[in-house]
Structure 1
């Protein structure tokens, strides 16, 4: 037994606690959980009796957890989320072998996803589950085995497997630039689309082409997919990875107004927590990935 049963509250009590904390009332929690108001109150009383302390206090018409109970609830919320995820994993792959991978949207969908069929054929016992994350996170607070990261080795407490460097190319609608521009500096006369997670991308590109001190103005977006569509619809010039730009260039919905694909700072990595034991599915995935690089 991991711990005495008296310290293991029921799922019903924990669900009631989490819902009351998030929604602020027993009535709202009861509606969400398909219970009566009295049933939610009873679950909270049972939990207080089991823990031997007050966990809920009334603030006007709202219920609020005590400071200590709020901290407890944050841990409970993670436990409930992990439990639900583990159940979904078991349902999706009853033979075991799930790999939870956090991906960057554009790279994950356009570079990694097309290659995963090869991994599936080599390791049919492993199910790869993909979720999007745009920035580094705490592996201790998330249920991921590994993640795709772009940039430098600036993610704390992880192991790194370099995947590939990145080349970017400026692209825009042919209606925005019917003829090739004469210089890199000419791009400053057009709206320049910017990515939230790469705020200095244009400045780096201009510096690499000998242009210093120019003012970069244009729409700010959060994903390459949005940036690509904005460029197609004449809203500005996008600085896209070559693997993402090539599809639209082939369709001629985008053109290169100046220059060619150029190497940028940073690269793509597979990262995973350095202190955690490497599970067999991750070991198989990293071995496969090394083999195709």
Structure 2
């Protein structure tokens, strides 16, 4: 047993001297996945081999890179700094190696968002993402279920809600404006008063954070429950029903961007109230922010959000 341990140690020292990239690459996978066991599974080696290579790298650098916190691991301050310094270079080497082997060079980014945000806002913009990130493949998961990042293989989520999710990185994507809209076949733009709207069927988005009751109260209009109502639990169905002339909807300008641009929907009242709220948030574990594909997506979607905001402001105002 001693001889075997001695042989393993000698082999480990050999690799650390001849091919230090082995230890660097293993550290990169551990830091990216935030797990020794996950890195071992991905690299098809044992967790003990992973730990050995981390120790070799720490000895070479003279710094502790990874610390145990209960059953989990956490990068030290030195580990975070080292990861920032090497991650781009390691990814470049991995891509170059795959190219030489004749394999497809790509990285999969899994995004979760509600079906409406996925289809009406993210999907039309993806060609621009691929223009600047051709090496990243996308899996777009349209779901209303919040991500369990400990279980689900999701890199980042655009989550609907109030923005209060402790323990996660949460960043506002956009501030939305809720507007009463309808098909121009039902009423021309800016032609109705708040009381006029009560004569039409009201389309309700039951999960929206601003409801018709609040909108009318903001306008100083008190009313009984209208006799004609239509309810949906998906914003894209609300938008589609309004386009079909089924009534007047109160919906976020984010969700009906294309319909407002091409004139299939118009704002029904003149000078609509400024009812703005942030309901869409960039959400992921803090450790995912170290992933290059996540960083690139966040940078890109924030630019897209700013472009959208500027275009939408000129369209509505």
Q: Is this contact kept in 2: 1:166–1:267, CA < 8 A?
A: yes
Structure 1: give runs of 5+ residues left out of the alignment.
Answer: 3-92
Task: Find out whether 1:124 has 2:128 as its counterpart.
Answer: no
Does the 8 A contact of 1:230 with 1:236 survive in 2?
yes
Relative distance call for 1:286 and 1:246 in structure 2 (3 A) is: closer
Q: Which residue of 2 aligns with 1:61?
A: none
Tell me which of 241, 253, 272 is aligned to 2:252. Answer: 241
Of 147, 151, 154, the match for 2:161 = 151
Cα distance in structure 1, aligned partners of 2:252 and 2:268: 15
Counterparts of residues 107-256 of structure 1 (less than 5 Å): 107-177=117-187, 182-198=192-208, 200-212=210-222, 214-215=224-225, 218-245=229-256, 247-249=258-260, 251-256=262-267
- Residue 193 of structure 1 and its aligned partner are, at CA, apart by 1.0
Q: Deviations over 1:262-283 (max 9, x none)?
A: 4333332211123657422112
Alignment of 1:249-264 (within 5 A): 249=260, 251-260=262-271, 262-264=274-276
Matches of 1:245 and 1:287, distance apart in 2: 23
Q: Report the equivalent of 1:77.
A: none
Q: 1:285 to 1:277 in 2, by over 3 A?
A: closer
2-side partners of 1:187 and 1:98: how far apart?
47
**What TM-score, normalized to structure 2?**
0.54
Figure out how many residues of one structure are paired with residues of the other and give that number.
203
Residue number in structure 1 paired with 2:299? 287
Q: Distance in 1 between matches of 2:130 and 2:189?
A: 45
What do the CA deviations read for 1:98-122 (whole angstroms, capped 9, x no partner)? 1100122333333333333232222
**Does the Cα contact within 8 Å between 1:146 and 1:270 map onto a contact in 2?**
yes
Is 1:265 the equivalent of 2:265?
A: no
What do the CA deviations read for 1:67-113 (whole angstroms, capped 9, x no partner)?
A: xxxxxxxxxxxxxxxxxxxxxxxxxx953421100122333333333
Deviation at 1:152, TM superposition (A): 1.8
Q: Given the superposition, is the C-alpha separation of residues 98 and 260 from structure 1 closer, same or farther in structure 2, using an over 3 Å criterion? A: farther
C-alpha separation in 1, matches of 2:298 and 2:202: 37
Return the offset for 1:165: 0.6
| 1:188 and 1:214 in contact (8 A); partners too | no
Gaps of 5+ in 2: 1-35, 38-102, 307-317
The residue matched to 1:141 in structure 2 has which SS? coil
Instruction: Provide TM-score, normalisation by structure 1.
Output: 0.58
* 1:232 to 1:288, Cα distance in 2 relative to 1, 3 A: closer
